Structure 1
Amino acid sequence: MPDMRLLIVCLGNICRSPMAEGVIRARIEASPLAGRVKVDSVGTGHWHVGDPPDPRAIATAARHGVDISGLRGRQLWPQDYRNFDWLLCADKSNLRAVRARTPADARAQSALLLDWAGVEPDGEVPDPYTGELRDFEHVWGLLDRAADGVVRRLQRELDGRFV
């Protein structure tokens, strides 16, 4: 069982959260945390359940050496609040939705991804869905920085567990 379970949340689970899942997972696997952290992603909406990530998200991740083509969209479910430690949201709208749906037996905490990762206090990852390729690249840059921050934070927090 992993020592930490992170669930990345955006609206449709085809742009921001799968790109974040891919880069964070790759960064964790290349660190001393490999095998100790589970990373997954979901959307608060149901529109893209079962769909692959947006082709622009796949292409952007691939340009940076990360393959997300095998991921499939899924929606946030009540059991996610029990099966994960953190629900890390792309923006404030999704954070509000996550918190509004929190079941009574939830164990997961929720936060903004960029804030939690120490990238930008109260920061949001903009949705590139209606934009162009440069918008996906901008989002990738934010998520790349967030992935570094996630690894730094987890190494600090989990250090004592591995002594």
Structure 2
Amino acid sequence: MLVWLAMTIGVLFVCTGNICRSPTAEAVFRTMALRAGLAHAFTIDSAGTYEGHVGQMASPLALQVGRRRGYDLSSHRARLLTSADIEKFDYPLAMDRSHLVAMRWMAPRALSDRPQMFMKFAPQTRVIEVPDPYGGPARAYEQSLNLIEAGCAGLLAHLKPLVGSNSEVAGKE
């Protein structure tokens, strides 16, 4: 008997403390994939390059702004990025250049080009980095969320063609 296994595409969003931008991107992408009927095709997570917020919930304003737009960040707990993440996830995505540098430094040599800038998936915005809203007003969180939604929509459009082609024969029984 042939067994077909659907391989998931790993997407990891990375910011500084893993309490604002990256958990928001995780929630947005998860929601978009779910609405597109593609949630099964992805392993989605987020992490931070700074250990000072490990174990904390998303920031109150990230929770509030996300909730207003239909994204649930309530179960999120911040975690620290590891070198194993670069190996595990197909798309480790940086919110800004400092995260890209950190990921490339942590990556095994053969995978140093795997980390990418998240906003490359939304070239129409002409923005390279998602500004850090931490400590700012709700408006800063709204502006970051606007960019994150554009980036996630572009990422999903980029990955959709890969979803149907990542199944393989696992073996025979």
TM-score, normalised via structure 2 length: 0.86
Whose Rg is larger?
2
Q: How far is 1:100 from its partner?
A: 1.1
Distance in 1, matches of 2:153 and 2:114, equals 20
Q: Distance in 1 between matches of 2:64 and 2:7?
A: 30
For residues 91 and 85 of structure 2, the distance between their equivalents in structure 1, rounded to whole angstroms, comes to 10
Contact 2:86 2:103 survives alignment (8 Å): no
Letter in 1 for 2:84: Q
Which residue number corresponds to residue 141 of structure 1? 146
User: Do the aligned partners of residues 108 and 38 (structure 1) sit closer, same or farther apart at CA in structure 2, a change above 3 Å counting?
Assistant: farther
**Pairwise CA RMSD of aligned residues?**
2.1
What are the residue-to-residue correspondences of 1:45-56 with 2, within 5 Å? 45-56=50-61
Higher helix share: 2
Match of 1:6 among 6, 11, 29: 11
Unaligned regions of 5+ residues in structure 2, if any?
1-5, 168-173
1:1-163 → structure 2 map (5 Å cutoff): 2-104=7-109, 106=111, 109-120=114-125, 123-161=128-166
C-alpha separation between the residues in 1 aligned to 2:18 and 2:84? 17
Percent of aligned pairs with the same residue? 34
Q: Report the Cα distance in structure 2 between the residues aligned to 1:4 and 1:88, rounded to whole angstroms.
A: 13
Give the 3-state SS of the residue equivalent to 1:47 in structure 2.
helix
User: How far apart are 1:34 and its partner, in Å?
Assistant: 2.3
3-state SS of the aligned residue for 1:160?
A: coil
Q: Using a 3 Å threshold, how does the CA distance of structure 1 residues 79 and 105 change in structure 2: closer, same or farther?
A: farther
Superposition deviation, residue 121 in structure 1: 5.7
Cα deviation digits, residues 94-139 of structure 1 (max 9, x gap): 1111111112464881111011354546610000002110000000
What code does the residue aligned with 1:71 have? H
What secondary structure does 2:77 align onto?
coil
Deviations 1:14-38 (A, max 9, x none): 0000000000110011114220011
Quick check: 83-92 or 111-120, which moved more? 111-120
1:84–1:107: 8 Å Cα contact kept in structure 2? no
Unaligned residue ranges in structure 1 (runs of 5+): none
Residue 54 of structure 1: how far off its partner (Å): 0.3
Which is strand-richer, 1 or 2? 2
Structure number with greater CO (CA < 8 Å, separation at least 6) is 2
TM-score (normalised: structure 1): 0.91
